[in-house]
Chains A and B, each alone.
Chain A
């Protein structure tokens, strides 16, 4: 028979010490009587003095806490402190005169949910871009070909007209002038459509919806097509300097890496308030490839450098940044068995990605 040890030596307070959920015992006035280890960890992570728990809470959370204590109900709250956002659920259990307050931390789940939503957004953006590129392609193909046909026809008409002997010299001159204008217009159209063709090509290359698998790809091609996408953010304001090394094809998920390049390039451009430069370097280092993206922007304050890859960390303000961009970059590079580092100072910021040349495939366990 299984014997259950019910000896009083294992007191509830002792047990609560190993409970992974932050728990606080409060008297009816809200004064802290006891805190378990998990709640100490949570509060010190938030840099809050446990003795003044209820005072440390932002005002509207204090009333939430009071309400939770009064009604013994579960209350959810979002607690933003030092650039970190915590999602907590307060649950209260009454025990005689005092109350046990459980603070269930749902931040990790929330962040995972947000990351998933963000990568779904990126995936549907990829589909949208690919669809758009395909839709533009057909009319663009028609215009490109028609312009060429028009320019060939003009030359033929010119030859016929020049062969006419009964043209006055004034007419002849007028024909020459008009043919000259049409030629120039057609050349101009050809340049315009060629530029559109290259943009559409970059869009298709960027989206690469058919390439979710790991395959050998040219990283420079990915960087170039991503640069075309973010071009409007850089134009006339930021100079892009490319120092491409001689690197082989890398086994990777090209569209996922393009997402990383895009995030880094957009961040770099947003960090430059006025004029500046972004330098992209690639090099082979033994069995790996190093890609670095440097900007001449404002830099990251030293106290924040260690937090930039944390999910939800942002200094851009509500509505500008999701705080997920770099955490997703980190995840993608991790999936490639690579690493991403950041260095920042007054002169700007450099992100360095290191990718293994091959066997970047993560072996799924289980």
Chain B
């Protein structure tokens, strides 16, 4: 297997202070690469162009440009398998349920959050991503082997029949 790369996390919150807090915490406790945006619109733009790989996304719910549920839906279009986490202070269960059903949320974290909880949720989400990636690779390998086998089979048939 290839050398393990630093997991890439995308964080969107219109409040700079939340970004600073999460960035600082992750810098102290993890080796994750954090892509942080205060503008969900800019983040969607970069998702189409700059961002080549992504392992997990965390988004605020109430943002002036675009709400977190719509933003996470955009992320899903580009990276369908990436776990999506909604971070919000707006303790509104109806919206949380809507998000879980529509966007296929991986987790819902309420502000103020506990750093240990946040780390655990991110770690579990990343594990899920890694497993999915491994599964994808295995499927690809299996397909490759299958193709090779059928090529051999064709060859045998061609030679003997």
Q: Which residues of A contact B (CB under 8 A)?
A: 134, 137-142, 144-146, 148-149, 152-153, 156, 193, 197, 204, 210
Contact = CB atoms under 8 A, between A and B. Distances in A.
Interface string B48-87: 0000000000000000000000000000000000000000
Contact of B28 (A137, A138, A153): A153
B115 A145 contact: yes
Contacts of B89: 134, 137-138, 141
24 contacts: A137-B111, A137-B112, A138-B17, A138-B18, A138-B89, A140-B111, A140-B112, A141-B18, A141-B111, A142-B18, A144-B113, A145-B22, A145-B25, A145-B112, A145-B113, A146-B21, A148-B25, A148-B114, A148-B115, A152-B28, A153-B28, A156-B28, A197-B112, A204-B91
A146 B112 CA distance: 11
A153 B18 CA distance: 18
A363 to B, nearest CB: 26
A149 B18 contact: no
Interface residues of B, number: 21
Q: Which of B24, B25, B112, B114 has the most CB of A within 10 A?
A: B112
Contacts, number: 55
B21 A145 contact: yes
B5 interface: no
B89 to A, nearest CB: 4
Contacts of B20: 142, 146
Q: Which of B18, B89, B90, B118 has the most CB of A within 10 A?
A: B89
B141 interface: no
Nearest to B88: A137
B29 interface: yes
A145 B27 CA distance: 13
Majority secondary structure of chain B interface residues (helix, strand, loop or mixed) = helix
A210 B96 CA distance: 14
Given A141-B18, A141-B21, A142-B18, A149 B111 contact: no
Contact of B17 (A134, A142, A193, A197): A142
B3 interface: no
A148 B111 CA distance: 15
A-B pairs, top 9 by smallest CB distance, nearest first, are A141-B112, A137-B89, A141-B111, A145-B21, A142-B17, A144-B112, A148-B115, A149-B25, A142-B21
Nearest to B94: A210
A49 B114 CA distance: 72
B92 interface: yes
Nearest to A146: B21
B112 to A, nearest CB: 4
A139 B115 CA distance: 15
B24 A149 contact: yes
Q: Which of A152, A156, A193 has the most CB of B within 10 A?
A: A152
A141 B113 contact: yes
Given A145-B112, A148-B115, 13 more contacts: A137-B89, A137-B112, A144-B113, A145-B21, A145-B22, A145-B118, A148-B114, A149-B21, A149-B24, A149-B115, A152-B25, A193-B112, A210-B92
Contacts of B24: 146, 149
Nearest to B20: A142
B143 interface: no
Contacts of A145: 21-22, 25, 112-113, 115, 118
B133 to A, nearest CB: 29
Contacts of A156: 28
Contacts of A146: 20-21, 24
A140 B17 CA distance: 10
